Amino acid sequence: MVKTKAPKIKLPPDPESESWNKLPWRKLEQHVYRLQKRIFKAESRGNTRAVHKLQKLLMKSRATRLLAVRRVTQDNQGKRTAGIDGVKSVKPAQRFTLAEQIHPKQWSQYKPQPVRRIYIPKPGKDEKRPLGIPIMRDRSHQCLVKFALEPQWEAKFEPNSFGFRPGRSCHDAIQTIHTNICTQAKYVLDADIKGAFDHIDHQALLAKLDTYPAVRLLVKAWLKAGIIDNGIFDETRKGTPQGGVISPLLMNIALHGMETDLIAAYRWKEGRPKFVRYADDLVVFHPKLEGVEKAKEILSEWLQRIGLELKPSKTRITHTLMEYQGKTGFDFLGFTIRQYPMGKTHIGKRPNGQPLGFKTLIRPSKEAIAHHVKETHRLVAEHRSMKQEKLIKELNPVIYGWANYYRSICARRAFKHCDMVLFRQLERWANRRHPNKNRHWIMQKYWKVDEGKGWIFRTPDLQLRNHQQTYIRRHVKVKGTASPYDGNLLYWSQRLKKHPLLNGVKAKLLQKQEGKCRWCGLYFKDEDLIEIDHITPKSEGGGEELSNKFALHRHCHDERHSKKANGTYDKGHVTEEPCDGKLSSTVLKTSRSGDTHA
C-alpha cells in the first residue's frame, strides 16, 4: 500500500482570500519532489502498481496543481503567448481557480481546446517551424500530467538519449560522441527524423504510454484536439503539436527503445554500434561500412512502426577520418566532428600510450560561425545611429551566449576569427558616423588600450566582451542513467554551476551560494530559470560588484520585489551563505566522474 505524508500547510478554504505570494512554496516543492522521487524509485524497481498509485496521489495533491499553474503562468518563457482564447496572463486570484479546474475529479467534464498554429523561422534557414499553442488551462493540465509521467519515464529512458530531458544537454551528447570515436576511426550514419513532432502515430504512442486509463484518455484528447490555422479548424490525425508543455516528453516516449532494439540486432562478432540521439537528430558509429548501412535499414523499419521516417536530405553516411562520398567528418548540433592525421608531436594516443595516427577535434561548424557573424552584422546595422553604450548592451549577450555554447571544444581559432570580423564591422560602424574624421581620431574615440588586452571597444562605464575572453573549459558527461529525480540533489547542483551556458557571474554566484536559491533555500534544478538580483538596488547606491548580487528563481525574484513594493520585505529573510567574504571557501567538492550540469 502506498503511503505518504501531506505537507502541514494551513490554507484558507476560500481561494479568493488567499495571497498567491504568501503560499509556502518551499514546502509545496519539497512535497512534490518527494512524490516524484518515489515514482522514480518505484519504476526502477519495476513496481508498476505503486507507480500508478503514486501518480494518482501526486496529481490530486493541491501542491502539485499550484506548482503546475505557477510553472505555466510565471516561469515558462512562452507565458505571454496566447492560445485561441487570447489570454496572455492570469492574475493571482484567477490562478487559484485554475488550480481547482485541473483537479482529476474534473477530468470527466474536461474537453481540450484546439491549439493555435503559429510559425517561427528556423535559425539560419528560410523555412519556418510550425508551433501549436494551447490555452492556459490546457497548458496547466499538461504540466500537471508531466509532473507525474516524467519521473516514471526518466527511470526507463535509454542512457544515450539527451534531448528534452532534465539534467541533460547537447554538450553531453557531444562529449559522448568524442568518447565513442576518440580511440578508433569509424563510419558514421548521420540521420535526421522527418517531422518527428508532426507525424507520430497516435495509436503507437498511446500503446507505449504505460499509464492508467484516465491519463491515457487525457493524452488522447490532447492529441485529437485539432488545430486552428488562420481561423480554419483542422483535425489532427497524427503528431503532437510543438509548443505544448508535454509534447517533448511524448516525442521521447515515442522514440524510446530505438537504441536498445538497434544494438540487439547485431551479433557480438559483428561489433556493437554506438548510438547517440538528441531529440530527432541521431548518429550511429561502427568500424565497418556494412555496420552503418545495416543500422540505416533497421532504423528505417523501426521508425515506420510509429509513423516516422528518416529525412533523405539530412541522412548520409560518412567517415570520421577518411573521405567518403566527398566528405570527411560530420556536423551535429552546430559542431563539426572529424579526425585529422597527425605527426608525432600532435598525435592522439590510447590510454596505454600507444599512438593512434590521428587526433579527434570538435569545432564550431562553418554554418554556425556564418550565422553568428550574420547576427552581429544585423545588430550593428540596426544600431548604426544609436549610442555606443546601447550597441555594446545589445552585442554582449549575443557574444556571451554563443561563446559559452562552444567553450567546451576546440573553439579558440573560431573565437579569434569572430573577433576579427566583429572589429571590422564596428570599424565600418564608426567610420559611417564620422566620414570626415581620420582613422586615428576614430580609434581614439571608440577604442581604448588596456594593458595586456590591446584595443577594447568601450565607454567609460561599459566595454564590449570579446569572444576570446571566454576560456575553454571541457565538459564532463552526465553519469550514465543519472536523473534529477534520483534524489542526489548535491550532484545536480554541482553540475549546474559548471554549465557551459551559464555566464561567469551566475556560475560564481551558484558556487558562492552552494547551488541554493538565496530566497527559498532550495537547490536549483535543471528546469529552473535563474535570475540575478541586486541586494541593494542601483537606485539606492548599490553597485555591480559580486557581493551585491545573488541568484534567485524567477518566481522568487518576483516574490521579493512584490514584498518590497508592498512594504513587507524583510531583509533577514534572505538566507546567507556560510562564507560571504571568501569566494573560494564555499566551492563544492566535485566527483571524479561528473561535475557539469546539463
Is residue 269 included in any domain, yes or no? no
Burial 584-598 (b: 16+ CB within 10 A, else e): eeeeeeeeeebbbbb
pLDDT band at 471 (very low <50, low <70, confident <90, very high): confident
pTM of the entire predicted model: 0.83
pLDDT (average), residues 501-524 = 72
Grid coordinates standing for 53? 498509485
Residue type, 378: R
> Which CA distances in Å does 274 have to 159, 301, 460, 515?
12, 19, 53, 34
Q: What would the pLDDT profile of 28-44 be if each residue is shown by its tens digit? A: 988 999 999 999 999 99
> How many Cβ atoms sit within 10 Å of the Cβ of residue 567?
6
Q: Give dist(CA 286, CA 220) in Å, integer.
A: 39
Residue 165 lies in a domain: no
Q: What is the pLDDT of residue 129?
A: 83
What is the average pLDDT across 48-57? 94
226: left (phi over 0), alpha (psi -120 to 50) or beta: left
Q: Is residue 300 part of a domain?
A: no
Looking at the structure, do residues 373 and 463 belong to the same domain, yes or no? yes
Residues 6+ apart with CB under 8 A from 289: 187, 317
State the pLDDT at residue 380: 93
Span of 244-258, 346-360, 572-586 with lowest mean pLDDT: 572-586
CA count, 13 A, side-chain hemisphere, 296: 19
Closest to 56 in 3D by CA, of 96, 110, 4, 101: 4
Higher pLDDT, 594 or 112: 112
Q: Are residues 503 and 557 in the same domain?
A: yes
Give the residue carrying C-alpha cell 600532435: 346
Q: Does residue 358 belong to any structural domain of this protein? A: no
Query: How far, CA to CA in Å, does 554 sit from each of 76, 277, 524, 567?
Result: 10, 31, 11, 20
Task: Answer yes or no: is 376 within a domain.
Answer: yes
Average pLDDT over residues 212-231: 90
Is 460 in the same domain as 382?
A: yes
> 446 lies in which domain range?
367-469
> Is residue 526 scored above 70 in pLDDT?
no
Whether residue 422 lies inside any domain: the answer is: yes
Selection from 445, 473, 439, 471 nearest residue 460 by Cα: 445
Considering 407, 436, 469, which residue would you say is the last residue of a domain? 469
Average pLDDT over residues 247-276: 92
Band (592; pLDDT cuts 50, 70, 90): very low
Question: Mean pLDDT throughout 470-485?
Answer: 86
Q: Smallest Cα–Cα separation from 83: which of 206, 227, 187, 196?
A: 227
Lowest mean pLDDT among 309-313, 493-497, 578-582: 578-582
Residue 543: pLDDT over 80: no
CATH number at residue 538: 1.10.30
C-alpha cell, 273 = 554500434
Q: At what angle do helices 25-45 and 48-60 cross, to 10 degrees?
A: 160
At 564, the pLDDT band (50, 70, 90 cuts) reads low
Task: Decide the pairing of beta strands 227-229 and 115-121.
Answer: parallel
Residues 406 and 457 in one domain: yes
pLDDT at 502: 62
Contact by Cβ (8 Å): 283, 168: no
Among residues 538, 579, 573, 567, the alpha carbon closest in space to that of 552 is found at 573
Question: Which DSSP letter does residue 271 get?
Answer: -
Q: Could you tell me if 423 and 457 lie in one domain? A: yes
Shared domain for 380 and 459, answered yes or no, is yes
Q: Give the three cell numbers for residue 428.
A: 565600418
Do 375 and 461 sit in the same domain of this protein?
A: yes
Q: Residue 156's pLDDT is what?
A: 93
Here the cell at position 198 is 508532426
What are the beta bridge partners of residue 360? 339
Query: All 3 cell numbers of residue 102?
Result: 485541473
User: What are 43's three cell numbers?
Assistant: 519504476
Query: Considering its fold, how many domains does the chain have in total?
Result: 2
Is it the case that residue 585 has pLDDT exceeding 50? Answer: no
Burial, 415: exposed, middle or buried (Cβ in 10 Å; 0-12, 13-18, 19+)? buried
What pLDDT sits at residue 287?
93
Reported confidence tier of residue 124, pLDDT bands at 50, 70, 90: low
pLDDT at residue 303 tops 90 = yes
- Binned at pLDDT 50, 70 and 90, residue 9 comes out as very low
Instruction: Report the Cα–Cα distance between both ends of the chain, in Å, rounded.
Output: 36
Of the pLDDT bands very low, low, confident and very high (cuts 50, 70, 90), residue 569 is low
Q: What is the mean pLDDT of the chain?
A: 83
Q: What is the pLDDT of residue 131?
A: 85
Same domain, 461 and 533: no
| 392 shares its domain with 448 | yes
Asked if the structure places residue 418 within a domain, the reply is yes
Residue at which a domain ends, from 422, 440, 469: 469
505 within domain boundaries: yes
- Residues 453 and 371 reside in one and the same domain: yes
Q: Which helix (H) or strand (E) holds 189?
A: strand 187-192
pLDDT value at residue 591:
31
Helix or strand holding residue 184 (H, E): none
Percent of the chain with pLDDT over 90: 44
- The pLDDT value recorded for residue 13 is 45
505 and 533 together in one domain? yes
Query: Are 381 and 422 members of one domain?
Result: yes
Residue matched to cell numbers 497524427: 238
pLDDT band per the 50, 70, 90 thresholds, residue 297: very high
Distance CA 148, CA 140 (A): 13
Residue 402: CB partners within 8 Å, gap ≥ 6? Answer: 372, 418, 467
Where do the H-state alpha helices sit in 46-165? 48-60, 62-70, 92-101, 136-154
Summarize pLDDT for 460-469 with one digit per residue, the tens.
Answer: 888 899 999 8
Residues 315-374: tens digit of each pLDDT: 999 999 999 988 899 999 999 999 988 776 666 666 666 777 888 999 999 999 999 999
